[in-house]
């Protein structure tokens, strides 16, 4: 798969969750999402066109012209993916909280099952429970169904903890393995990135002559610290 | 200044009470169905309720709404309907002109905030601004009329981290100088300040309150209510469990120094 940003072509050789950061990255997300048939795009601020969740999902299914033989079954499946009860379909959109609306945006994308998903601020308005549900499902889409997922945020902790590769958009474009990118002092300085918490810990340990590997999960980091004390 | 919600009965809220006092910053936190969004709308008067909101013992109702609105500054997430005029300066000056302030005073106030946030947008059209600049405009618009209370929803996704820190520094300054009350609404603890007084909401009720440092150490309670323990508290609690440290550290360097003395 090829991602084109600022006339630069980035080759993605295997299904990945790719982070995207940089000044005015929103502009490039619009460009990336131009192919409506194969790309699903969740914007930071979404609009809803109908009054009920069920109608919204049905509308989206029709809009995307996806062939669905059993609509009810498909809806049940996407609800299940985010651990939602069937009764969620009956809810009025105006009654939903911002977090629930965000979940509805995910449902709309999941229902038409695009090859590539682009999500601007994946955890916006979500609580911890749904952050976990969403990221686990995105990982499942990548691992089981070979989807490519691009998550955009300027929060380096979100990008570091949840992606395999990262794109930084600045005057030039940089595309690297996420751990390599965030552990590279030159890149951090050049692109004025905030150092993710997990990376910072390993770097501080390094100053004490302790070699702590760069982990993307704090439980793994803790185990490593325990082994090194 | 005191802002108080007394025996609120609206929708899912049953006999709900909460108090906010001067010189203090509050965060109201809960999961996506906790009811804090409705409370935000009630306090910012998007939803009008009867005889439940009191500011300095004056009850908020149709007659007192205008004086209440002059006392509060509401910071919402920016959207397509956030602005009514085409130019940045006109939009910023709009509410101040309604207060009959003279042109020089209006200009001084606007210049102060644009300089503080290092924004060179005074002569721009709003359509030329990026999302961060628009969100900072929303912050400035809430502060320009010198409110006594700031009511702010979670806007961090629309700001750069350094700008968000600047916004909070400004709040702290006004809390000290002008007895400001700041009320922030979140779905997690990531951007709560250490000096914030926190109300945790669940199912339209306050289920816990206290300062951040007191609440964070109860990770079982936070997990039960779908709230993530912030990184340094989480790290401290886990390392304490492994008996590698014996207290909670908020400074990572101090923590690392303690582990490898």
What pLDDT, on a 0 to 100 scale, did the predictor assign at position A36? 66
Does A65 have pLDDT greater than 90? no
Whether the CB-CB separation of B241 and B219 falls below 8 Å is answered with: no
What is d(CA B89, CA A92) in angstroms, rounded to the nearest whole number? 39
Query: Would you state the structure tokens that stand for residue A225, as one six-digit string?
Result: 């610290």
What is d(CA A40, CA A60) in angstroms, rounded to the nearest whole number? 11
Q: Are strands B2-10 and B13-21 parallel, antiparallel or unpaired?
A: antiparallel
CB-based contacts of B259, cutoff 8 Å, min separation 6: A225, A229, B239, B244, B245
User: Helix, strand, or coil here: A47?
Assistant: coil
For residues B156-162, average pLDDT: 90
Tally of CB atoms within 10 A around A207 = 11
For residues B50-73, average pLDDT: 93
pLDDT > 70 fraction of chain B, expressed in percent and rounded: 100
Burial of residue B167, with CB atoms counted within 10 A of its CB: 0-12 exposed, 13-18 middle, 19 or more buried: buried
Decide if B252 and A204 are in contact by the 8 Å CB cutoff.
yes
Decide if A124 and B157 are in contact by the 8 Å CB cutoff.
yes
User: Helix, strand, or coil here: A30?
Assistant: helix
- φ and ψ of B158, to 5 deg: -100, 5
If pLDDT is split at 50, 70 and 90, which confidence band does B17 have? very high
Mean pLDDT taken over chain B: 93
Tally of CB atoms within 10 A around A71 = 14
Interface test with A, best of B31, B32, B130, B154 (most A CBs within 10 A): B32
- φ and ψ of B27, to 5 deg: -120, 130
ipTM rounded to 2 decimals: 0.89
Chain A partners of B231 at a C-beta cutoff of 8 Å? Answer: 157, 197, 218
C-alpha atoms less than 13 angstroms from C-alpha of B66 in its C-beta half-sphere: 4
Chain center to CA of B68? 18
For residues B33-49, average pLDDT: 95
Decide if A26 and B188 are in contact by the 8 Å CB cutoff.
no
What pLDDT, on a 0 to 100 scale, did the predictor assign at position B40? 97
What is d(CA B168, CA B160) in angstroms, rounded to the nearest whole number? 13
More confident residue, B144 or B195: B144
**How confident is the model over A21-41, as pLDDT tens digits?**
998 888 888 888 777 678 899
CB-based contacts of B217, cutoff 8 Å, min separation 6: B233, B237, B248
Closest residue to B227, CB basis, from A127, A154, A201:
A127
Closest residue to B32, CB basis, from A100, A197, A204:
A100
Does B195 have pLDDT greater than 80? no
Does A160 have pLDDT greater than 90? yes
Chain B partners of A87 at a C-beta cutoff of 8 Å? Answer: none
Chain A partners of B242 at a C-beta cutoff of 8 Å? Answer: 222, 225-226
What is d(CA B57, CA B72) in angstroms, rounded to the nearest whole number? 15
For residues A170-181, average pLDDT: 94
What pLDDT, on a 0 to 100 scale, did the predictor assign at position B211? 92
Does B110 have pLDDT greater than 70? yes
pLDDT > 90 fraction of chain B, expressed in percent and rounded: 78
What is d(CA B166, CA B84) in angstroms, rounded to the nearest whole number? 26
Smallest CA–CA distance from B232 into chain A, residue:
A197
Strand order in the sheet with A116-120: A39-42, A116-120, A148-152, A17-22, A165-169, A173-177
What is d(CA B245, CA B237) in angstroms, rounded to the nearest whole number? 9
What is d(CA A207, CA A199) in angstroms, rounded to the nearest whole number? 13
For residues B134-158, average pLDDT: 95
What is d(CA B128, CA A15) in angstroms, rounded to the nearest whole number? 36
What pLDDT, on a 0 to 100 scale, did the predictor assign at position A67? 66
Mean pLDDT taken over chain A: 91
User: Helix, strand, or coil here: A189?
Assistant: helix
Chain A partners of B223 at a C-beta cutoff of 8 Å? Answer: 128
Return the closest-CA partner of residue A131 out of A113, A106, A114: A106
If pLDDT is split at 50, 70 and 90, which confidence band does A86 have? very high
Does A75 have pLDDT greater than 90? no
Closest residue to B259, CB basis, from A130, A219, A225:
A225
Q: With the C-alpha atoms ordered B78, B180, B209, B219, is the resulting torsion angle positive or negative?
A: positive
What is d(CA A10, CA A173) in angstroms, rounded to the nearest whole number? 9
Chain A partners of B160 at a C-beta cutoff of 8 Å? Answer: 154
Q: Give how far Cα A161 sits from Cα of A157, A220, A221, Å.
A: 6, 12, 12
For residues B132-147, average pLDDT: 96
Chain A partners of B259 at a C-beta cutoff of 8 Å? Answer: 225, 229
- Distance between B36 CA and the closest CA of chain A, angstroms: 9
Decide if A129 and B37 are in contact by the 8 Å CB cutoff.
no
Chain center to CA of A110? 13
More confident residue, B56 or A66: B56
Does B32 have pLDDT greater than 90? yes
What pLDDT, on a 0 to 100 scale, did the predictor assign at position B219? 85
What is d(CA A169, CA A182) in angstroms, rounded to the nearest whole number? 14
Return the closest-CA partner of residue B118 out of B162, B158, B77, B177: B162
Interface test with B, best of A29, A135, A201, A205 (most B CBs within 10 A): A201
pTM comes to 0.92
**How confident is the model over B111-136, as pLDDT tens digits?**
999 999 999 999 999 999 998 999 99
Does B152 have pLDDT greater than 80? yes
C-alpha atoms less than 13 angstroms from C-alpha of A52 in its C-beta half-sphere: 8
What pLDDT, on a 0 to 100 scale, did the predictor assign at position A212? 93
Q: Which residues of B touch A (CB under 8 A)?
A: 30-33, 37, 77, 79-80, 130-131, 154, 157-158, 160-161, 187-188, 223, 226-228, 231-232, 234-235, 238-239, 242, 244, 252-253, 256-257, 259-260
Radius of gyration of chain A (CA): 19
Does A189 have pLDDT greater than 90? yes
Tally of CB atoms within 10 A around B60 = 23
What is d(CA A118, CA B208) in angstroms, rounded to the nearest whole number? 37
């Amino acid at each position: 798969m090829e991602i084109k940003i600022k006339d630069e072509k980035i080759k993605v050789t295997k299904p990945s969750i790719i982070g995207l950061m940089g000044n005015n990255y929103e502009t490039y997300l619009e460009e990336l999402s131009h192919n409506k048939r194969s790309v699903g795009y969740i914007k930071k601020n979404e609009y809803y066109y109908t009054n009920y969740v069920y109608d919204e999902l049905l509308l989206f299914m029709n809009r995307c012209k996806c062939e669905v033989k059993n609509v009810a079954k498909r809806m049940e499946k996407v609800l299940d993916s985010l651990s939602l009860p069937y009764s969620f379909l009956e809810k009025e959109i105006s009654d939903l909280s911002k977090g629930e609306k965000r979940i509805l945006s995910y449902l709309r994308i999941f229902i038409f099952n695009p090859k590539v998903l682009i999500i601007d601020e994946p955890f916006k308005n979500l609580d911890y429970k749904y952050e976990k549900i969403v990221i686990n499902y995105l990982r499942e889409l990548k691992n089981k169904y070979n989807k490519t997922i691009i998550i955009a945020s300027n929060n380096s902790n979100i990008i570091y903890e949840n992606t395999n590769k990262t794109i930084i958009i600045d005057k030039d474009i940089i595309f690297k393995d996420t751990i390599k990118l965030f552990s590279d002092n030159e890149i951090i300085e050049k692109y004025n990135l905030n150092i993710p918490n997990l990376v910072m810990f390993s770097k501080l340990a390094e100053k004490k002559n302790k070699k702590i590997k760069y982990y993307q999960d704090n439980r793994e980091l803790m185990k490593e610290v325990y082994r090194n004390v | 200044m005191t802002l108080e919600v007394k025996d609120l009965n609206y929708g899912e809220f049953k006999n709900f009470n909460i108090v906010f006092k001067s010189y203090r910053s509050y965060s109201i936190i809960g999961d996506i169905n906790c009811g804090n969004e409705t409370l935000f709308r009630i306090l910012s008067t998007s939803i009008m309720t009867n005889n439940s909101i009191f500011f300095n013992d004056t009850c908020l109702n149709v007659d007192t709404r205008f004086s209440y609105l002059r006392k509060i500054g509401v910071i919402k997430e920016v959207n397509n309907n956030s602005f009514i005029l085409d130019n940045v300066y006109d939009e910023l000056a709009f509410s101040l002109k309604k207060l009959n302030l003279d042109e020089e005073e209006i200009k001084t106030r606007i210049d102060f905030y644009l300089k503080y946030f290092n924004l060179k947008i005074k002569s721009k059209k709003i359509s030329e601004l990026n999302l961060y600049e628009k969100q900072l405009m929303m912050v400035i618009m809430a502060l320009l009329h010198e409110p006594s209370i700031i009511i702010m929803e979670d806007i961090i996704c629309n700001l750069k981290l350094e700008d968000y820190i600047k916004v909070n520094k400004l709040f702290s300054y006004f809390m000290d100088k002008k007895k400001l009350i700041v009320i922030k609404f979140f779905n997690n603890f990531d951007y709560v300040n250490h000096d914030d007084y926190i109300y945790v909401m669940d199912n339209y009720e306050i289920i816990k309150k206290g300062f951040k440092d007191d609440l964070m150490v109860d990770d079982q309670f936070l997990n039960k209510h779908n709230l993530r323990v912030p990184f340094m508290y989480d790290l401290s609690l886990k390392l304490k469990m492994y008996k590698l440290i014996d207290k909670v550290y908020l400074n990572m360097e101090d923590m690392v120094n303690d582990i490898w003395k």
